[in-house]
Amino acid sequence: MIKYEVSKFNEVVIDKKTILIEKGYIQELAKKISNVIPQRNNRYNKTVVTKTSLGDIKLTLNKITYDNYTELIQQLVSLTNTISSSEDIHDILTSINSRTMFIDLSTKIYMELIKSNDLFLDAAKKDFNSLYDNINHVISLVSTETDYDKLCKNNKKLDNIKNKVIFYTTLSSYNLDTITLSELAVLIENILVDMSHFVKIEIVYNIISMKIDDMKQNPRWNKIIETLEHIREKEGIISNKILFKTMDILDLIENQI
């Protein structure tokens, strides 16, 4: 190692436009420096964050049927049991609860995801609690839309909402601390307050038709029947679609008594 006395580099003569220093020292130092390859030591190891592909999860999810359920459910659980992104979990939940077919299978699948990862239960609770607001929001989009393409898209959202309600109605059978029949009864009461769209009474019909025996044990049941009877009396005020569906519900109830 060659050492240079620092004081030598302080021997600077300053002119107005130039700075002069002993050239020999500078040339020697420049020569040594040019032969040096800088070495950098990383103080920290680089952390690589990996993320399960949602594509893999959805692909596995879409493959599951009643026949191959046992074979594929463990594969799905393995892909999702360490997932922590609330956005991704909500995306998976939406893929499951908006299905138009195999609702029983969908709820069975989702219960397995809940067992392996509590975040799936948290997502379902939050989504269920916002169900009433989401119903009204989508209905408002359809009611005010005049553009045909947008109307079709919003009608698709209405179908998804109806499927979602069926999903949670089925999920209520699994004895969770939330998403219960009591909360579904509250949802029915809230929906019946304002019959502004046919989809509302259709949602009520779907819940009651699926859980009528259990619903009859609920303290809110008599109030629900009274409200339905009051809606039936509004002939000429409400649409025929709502009127006829209300009568269907009451007929269903009377035939069960």
DSSP, residue by residue, 182-210: HHHHHHHHHHHT---SHHHHHHHHHHHHH
Quick check: 244 pLDDT over 50?
Answer: yes
- Rounded mean pLDDT, 30-45: 52
Asked whether 204 and 135 are in contact (CB, 8 A), the reply is no
pTM over 0.85: no
Tell me the C-alpha distance between 122 and 89, whole Å: 10
Confidence category of residue 99, pLDDT binned at 50, 70, 90: confident
Judged against a pLDDT cut of 70, whether residue 47 lies above it is answered with: no
Answer yes or no: is pLDDT of 46 > 50: no
Average pLDDT, the chain: 84
- pLDDT score for 2: 53
pLDDT at res. 24: 61
- Per-residue pLDDT, averaged over 20-33, amounts to 57
Cβ contact 98:85 at 8 Å: no
For residue 29, pLDDT beyond 90: no
Is the Cβ–Cβ distance between 203 and 162 less than 8 Å? yes
Q: Looking at the predicted structure, is the pLDDT value of residue 43 above 50? A: no
pLDDT confidence bin for 48, thresholds 50/70/90: very low
